[in-house]
Structure 1
């Protein structure tokens, strides 16, 4: 190639390779370890060899002599572009695929592949992240360059995974490796999807003796190509770390190979999603940047109305999940020092009817636990159902906390009750142990609710003042050598829709003595 050396670069073509009838020559082969990546070595050898116009990496180590369509290879083609970055290859081409819609700019005349890609690199009106190339039908001669329609886009398959799909082989998808990674909002949720007992077949860089965190950091810091994920293979005390420029979404799960000692981590699309936690609910909020008409639901509960929400274009969605029951698959895990995790698995499904590989699976949860505030709950039923109480802790650090317990007792027998009748005299007791510890307590925001939190009533406000003395009085503090507790005597009541009444309250710790609360009424 008679051109400046700095303009020589490569195009990486995935899923397609030249026929072996072209009599290829061996460029490089690993002698001792077939699993060690050779991408960089081959690129350097081909770039320095004037006779090398392209090369193929066979990731499975086998040359297939018949099929040209081959997902176990990567075909690197040397060509000339006025480029804007120093990546080892500038465009990634995936024949037979397309990005549906998102046609930011349709170029007015037919172009060659190289001209289409050069237009993407030189686009000034927007950041061109990908291009679609539709081959123009023609009787091409042996020396004719293929031409077609070129459409530039400010999106790519990572930003819009649900828009990327298979097409005919007259469609080609070009992805600009020089465009900046899409991360408009630093508060967005960005994560890696984890795949257990598998690794990705196509490896580009290999590191020995790494931890999970250090391998992920190497992926994040890779500059010679865009790292899409990494694989870990456990050995005696550490991991073998493999860095990937591809992901499983290109050709589906066929690129994942079973490995009982392996895990594969793939970069997922960043989405504007957040979780807020209260004493009764875990609320997941999703603000889509583009039109969303799919569904957001808890795994296994897609048809239960309280467990899903439906997209309404770009409107913000909120999925409100009770943490005081096991509905929607929310489960509780209790750790030492009164720390409790309420968690479940949520699906963000972009199509309203079916799941696709571009959908997101997200593990969501709230951790409760603090030496300052404690959220505790208990419950009774007006029939003979068993007690279904729970203890949740809301925390900002991991310091050891005292033990706090809330119970409902029969006023006369002082025994704990799990069932009662309307009007029976009961006592709500909130007790801290040890009684002679350095902390005092007060409580507020006491809520009574039905089993599924469909109905609720605020009994004490945030200061601890009663909202209706006819239903529930103020708490009284009792301190002796053996106990330190808050007590309120009330008559049993119930909601019309459910026989079960649950209680939730926020308890505040104070050094030595909590200030007294005054209220009117």
Structure 2
């Protein structure tokens, strides 16, 4: 096996290459081999082919353990036009297969050869930066499916340039027919397509696969193939400590690495290759059979990025292998899902206010959720990937630059602008009685209020509220109470947002307690926007109970100021609060202390801080009487009284009859006793 083995075996291979008869290159150059600038110079590979032209050899470099080193040696030599590479041997040539096509044949060496030749592609150094070669060519093959575009090209070099410069999609491969001039561009290649039928043997068609794309290199899985390793690899590294370190070398290589082996050809030896079983179908015996050896082939990788926005997070997934399945929120697989069909890139939007996605809030400006990349449409398998996602917002400090005097009052005023660091406001929403008293329980119809308050007393911010919604807590129903302009949508449910204490640092939204039919939990979510120095009310056109339209003011619009352009625009804040509200019929049954606890207010984490210290509240409102309930109770009472009276009369009558019978029997007994005595006396 030719690698870092014995020098004698490598010398025999070199001598054998030199003794092979070559064919003189033609004097006329092909249209492919035109004069090329260094910016447009790159290389094309052909695996399993060898160039045999002993008289054209420029240099022979033994102990070359990396294909990129061999290519760079040819690049730096202006006379070099092509090369042969085996593990441990690099041979440079003056001419190439364009000028001497007869000299290029299938490799017959025990260790198959990789042939590379210099080509000229427009903008190659810019579009394929830091890559030693741009394409690998496989003659008589094509990507028969997954063709995105078909174009006409005069030469195969022109077809390569069409793929390299494609803007509408990421071109990974191209197939060129010399007979028809048809150039078929595809966003798939041999590694991204799982079906072997997509890559077919087709005469007179050349297949080109790019090395210029950036594959995902995170969350990668490798499949172990026991008992064999590749005969020729792209790079050999020595003194690599662990298999994990070898894998990292593969994932971070300057080429698209698809397999590696570790420790099979020597202690701490790591070998990398851009090939795997899916790209070696046209090579005869590419593997060396060794029972105790193991080749690790790359199967799937997932690069996941998160775009954290003011009201949502967007998770974007990029994979190296064609994916059909779904991406969904782990806790909401049906309501928060993206279905994917044969894609390499896909995304899922998770709104912070979207109960269908149920994004959790962990603390100060931190949001958390879990998503699953599932391959099968219905079931979870071992191939699936679960991801934990977090977005953290640094809302504690803002750097503001303005003409406002934020210094102490005794300081002499200055016309110069001042820059200072102003802490961002911490906003709390709480549910309380109408006048602000704490509540512990609430019933439908109780007069309540939502309070929005900046916790820092010296904060320069004011606030306004918009997009206030109420939900039932179990994803079934929701209602918009305050619209995006800050106006109430239905005054019968909630009135306008008012300012307390003459400042918009504390706002109140009055409402009468309500609940949804299928849940006793009502959850409120609102967007709170800080503004400087004050927030101007919005004028709302609402309809009152009698159907008349009138104008009201609500704290729902920022005042536009001349210094707005110079002032940092604060982020919107999401605040959340929930409460359990009982209906009238449950109030009597829930009078026990144990059940009263279930009607207490529940606090959830707000955007900026935990609201664990928010006090619980109770309502002093008198209970409402239900007329129908009173009537039913009265009727039941009367029926019970009638039954009792009837029972008592029946018992009394029975007792009276029994007493009369006993009196009659006693009288008869006395009568017979007296008669018997008289008769006896007379006889005597």
Q: TM-score range by the shorter chain?
A: 0.5 to 0.7
Answering whether residue 132 of structure 2 is matched by residue 93 of structure 1, we say: no
CA deviations on 1:254-308 (whole Å, 9 max, x unpaired) are: 4569xxxxxx99999x9xx988754xx657899xxxxx9955522657x932122
Answering whether residue 451 of structure 2 is matched by residue 429 of structure 1, we say: yes
Task: Spell out the pairing of 1:74-89 with structure 2 (5 A cutoff).
Answer: 75-78=114-117, 84=122, 89=133
Shift in CA distance, 29/150, structure 1 to aligned 2, threshold 3 Å: farther
2:545 maps to: none
Task: Spell out the pairing of 1:133-152 with structure 2 (5 A cutoff).
Answer: 152=183
TM-score by length of 2: 0.42
Task: Spell out the pairing of 1:368-517 with structure 2 (5 A cutoff).
Answer: 400-410=423-433, 414-415=437-438, 417=440, 420-479=442-501, 484-517=505-538
1:236 maps to: none
**CA offset at residue 103 of structure 1?**
7.5
Of residues 327, 331, 334, the one that matches 1:297 is 327
Of residues 322, 325, 340, the one that matches 2:366 is 340
Aligned Cα RMSD in Å? 6.2
Stretch deviating more after TM superposition (454-463 or 406-415): 406-415
- Paired with 1:166 and 1:76, the residues of 2 have a C-alpha distance of 25
2:256 maps to: 246
Q: Secondary structure at the match of 2:159?
A: helix
Shift in CA distance, 194/431, structure 1 to aligned 2, threshold 3 Å: same
**CA offset at residue 404 of structure 1?**
0.8
- Paired with 1:197 and 1:101, the residues of 2 have a C-alpha distance of 24
Is the CA contact (8 Å cut-off) linking 2:360 and 2:368 kept in structure 1? yes
- Paired with 2:302 and 2:236, the residues of 1 have a C-alpha distance of 14
Larger Rg over CA atoms: 2
Q: Secondary structure at the match of 1:93?
A: strand
2:86 maps to: 56
1:144 maps to: none
- Paired with 1:191 and 1:399, the residues of 2 have a C-alpha distance of 43
Shift in CA distance, 118/41, structure 1 to aligned 2, threshold 3 Å: closer
Structure 1 gaps of 5+ residues are 60-64, 69-73, 109-114, 135-146, 182-189, 206-230, 234-239, 258-263, 287-291, 374-397
- Paired with 2:151 and 2:498, the residues of 1 have a C-alpha distance of 74
- Paired with 1:148 and 1:254, the residues of 2 have a C-alpha distance of 40
1:154 maps to: 185
- Paired with 1:319 and 1:266, the residues of 2 have a C-alpha distance of 14
Q: Secondary structure at the match of 2:495?
A: coil
Q: Secondary structure at the match of 1:157?
A: coil
Is the CA contact (8 Å cut-off) linking 2:174 and 2:207 kept in structure 1? yes
2:663 maps to: none
- Paired with 2:356 and 2:235, the residues of 1 have a C-alpha distance of 42
Is the CA contact (8 Å cut-off) linking 1:107 and 1:150 kept in structure 2? yes
Is the CA contact (8 Å cut-off) linking 1:103 and 1:152 kept in structure 2? no
- Ranked by relative contact order (alpha carbons within 8 Å, sequence separation 6 or more), the top structure is 1
Q: Secondary structure at the match of 2:256?
A: coil
CA deviations on 1:131-152 (whole Å, 9 max, x unpaired) are: 3379xxxxxxxxxxxx999862
**CA offset at residue 401 of structure 1?**
0.6
Answering whether residue 44 of structure 2 is matched by residue 11 of structure 1, we say: yes
CA deviations on 1:95-142 (whole Å, 9 max, x unpaired) are: 88835241855999xxxxxx9735635889x969743379xxxxxxxx
Answering whether residue 157 of structure 2 is matched by residue 132 of structure 1, we say: no
**CA offset at residue 446 of structure 1?**
1.6
Q: Secondary structure at the match of 1:304?
A: strand
2:61 maps to: 27
Is the CA contact (8 Å cut-off) linking 2:142 and 2:201 kept in structure 1? no
**CA offset at residue 407 of structure 1?**
1.3
Shift in CA distance, 232/67, structure 1 to aligned 2, threshold 3 Å: closer
Is the CA contact (8 Å cut-off) linking 1:131 and 1:175 kept in structure 2? yes
Structure 2 gaps of 5+ residues are 1-24, 37-41, 90-108, 126-131, 223-232, 238-246, 259-273, 279-294, 399-420, 541-550, 553-684
Shift in CA distance, 17/175, structure 1 to aligned 2, threshold 3 Å: same
- Paired with 1:86 and 1:197, the residues of 2 have a C-alpha distance of 31
TM-score by length of 1: 0.53
Q: How many residues end up aligned between the 2 structures?
A: 389
**CA offset at residue 372 of structure 1?**
11
